[in-house]
Chain A
Amino acid sequence: MMAPFFKYDLFGDEFSLIVAVLIGFGFGFFLERAGFGSARKLTAQFYLIDLAVFKVMFTAIVTAMLGVFYLSWMGFLDLSLVYLSTTYLVPQLLGGALLGFGFVVGGYCPGTSVVGMATGRVDALVYGAGLMAGIFVFGEAYPFIEGFMYSTDMGTITLPQLFGVPYGLVMLVIVLIALLGFWAAPSIERYFRNKLTEEV
């Protein structure tokens, strides 16, 4: 049991920044490979004509989820040392909805906008400026909403803990939901593309 390496102090803060660049490189590489540097590709998800966002996102979640589970189960990874953010339910629900609005209006999420910028998308650059403006608005309002931000604190909690079922069972349900989605995706895409062709 020597992982996560950083938490076992196998390397220091300075080296962690090099690791950050490498991990970010992989992140950006696969986002661009999937076509997520394009706002049209991303937002096609919300018109159901191209479900790549769902496919990539859920494949990634399933891969990492199973990987984390097996690495921990076999004793290589101490999962209790992997950072799990605290759940503040109501602020997160509100934030999620706002973020969803921002996604379909702006066309990117923060990570994909960086990929958009890297491949020369001017709209991604403007979006990034808007993102910073939004963070500024939030920052200025922060002293007034600090109490709300820490409301409905559920602590660090996982779905298996919430429902009182085994971790593995939740994983199986998520895998089956994802596969059901993947199986249905081509029909959904075909149906909505046809509809779009008729409309235009």
Chain B
Amino acid sequence: MTVATNLAPSEPRRQAAAPAIESRRGSPFMNPYLAGIGLGLVLLSAFFIMGRGLGASGAFSSATAVVVEKVAPEHARANDFYLGYLESGLDGHTMKSWLVFEVLGVLMGGFFSGALAGRLSPTVDKGPRISIRGRLAFAFAGGILMGVGAKFARGCTSGQALSGGALLNVGSWAFMIMVFAGAYALAFFVRRQWI
């Protein structure tokens, strides 16, 4: 009990500190460990049923390849990168691929959970010290960096870090360390966007 009394003086200060990032509307977020176990079981069932992990950036790649093919069919077909995605769909339909359908599921699952918690609303998510226009510009720029990075790494946080991480894939762990290193290295310079 002496421990408790020792802690007591710091209590008011802790009250004054910035709160955890909580849900701005609707019910509070789930215990992260519980959500992590849920996510882990979803990943495990993907391994068990499909023999593959989760992914996300692949679906964006398929979509990009389709757009490029619509605009310049020959150009797209001459490029091995686009061609790989164009030919990977079922029955010759590029968008009829596993990852595209999985991402559709993500969209539905996210919507369902958001609706359940009352967290659906058109907003721009940002810190108090940046304009909406500024935030959107950063979002676009970040997307470009992410797109290039995900393709260099042959996967994103879901495909490499999460799926490969659980399978103890060497490349995935090397990748994961670099993701955190890169993000922490740049975090200071874009802090006005978030805090």
- A joins B in a complex: yes
List residues of chain A with CB under 8 Å of any chain B CB: 3-7, 13-14, 16-35, 37-41, 43-47, 49-50, 52, 55-65, 67-68, 71, 76-77, 81-89, 91-124, 126-140, 142-143, 146, 149, 154, 156-162, 167, 170-171, 174, 182, 189-190, 193-194, 196-197, 200
Using an 8 Å CB-CB cutoff, how does the interface string of B111-153 with A read, 1 for contact, 0 for none? 1111001011111111100000001101111111111111111
Q: Does B92 contact A (CB under 8 A)?
A: no
When chains A and B are docked, how far (Å) is the Cα of A97 from the Cα of B16?
Answer: 35
- Tell which of B60, B63, B80, B171 touches A92, judged by Cβ atoms closer than 8 Å: B171
Q: In the complex, what residues of A have CB within 8 A of residue B19's CB?
A: 193
Out of A25, A60, A64, name the residue touching B105 (CB < 8 Å): A25
Distance in angstroms between the alpha carbons of A178 and B188 in the assembled complex: 25
How far is A10 from B184 in the complex, measured between Cα atoms in Å? 45
Query: How would you classify the secondary structure of chain A's contact residues: helix, strand, loop or mixed?
Result: helix
Most chain A C-beta atoms within 10 Å of own C-beta, residue among B33, B41, B156, B171: B171
- Provided the pairs A41-B21, A56-B32, A117-B107 are in contact, do residues A110 and B157 lie with their beta carbons within 8 angstroms? yes
How many Å lie between the Cα of A56 and that of B36 in the bound state? Answer: 4
B residues 29-60 in Cβ contact with A at 8 Å: 29-30, 32-33, 35-54, 56-57, 60
Residues A21 and B102 in contact in the complex (CB < 8 Å), given A59-B32, A132-B63, A139-B81: yes
| Nearest CB of A to B35, in Å | 4
Instruction: Sort chain B's interface into a size bin.
Output: 35 or more
Q: Which of A24, A76, A137, A182 contacts B148 (CB under 8 A)?
A: A137
In contact, B40 and A63 (Cβ under 8 angstroms): yes
**B152 to chain A: which residues have CB within 8 Å?**
91-92, 94-95, 98, 138, 149
B109 at the binding interface (Cβ < 8 Å): yes
Distance (Å) between the CB of B58 and the closest chain A CB? 9
Contact check, B124 vs A121: say whether CB atoms are below 8 A apart. yes
Instruction: State the CA gap A58–B166 with chains docked (Å).
Output: 9
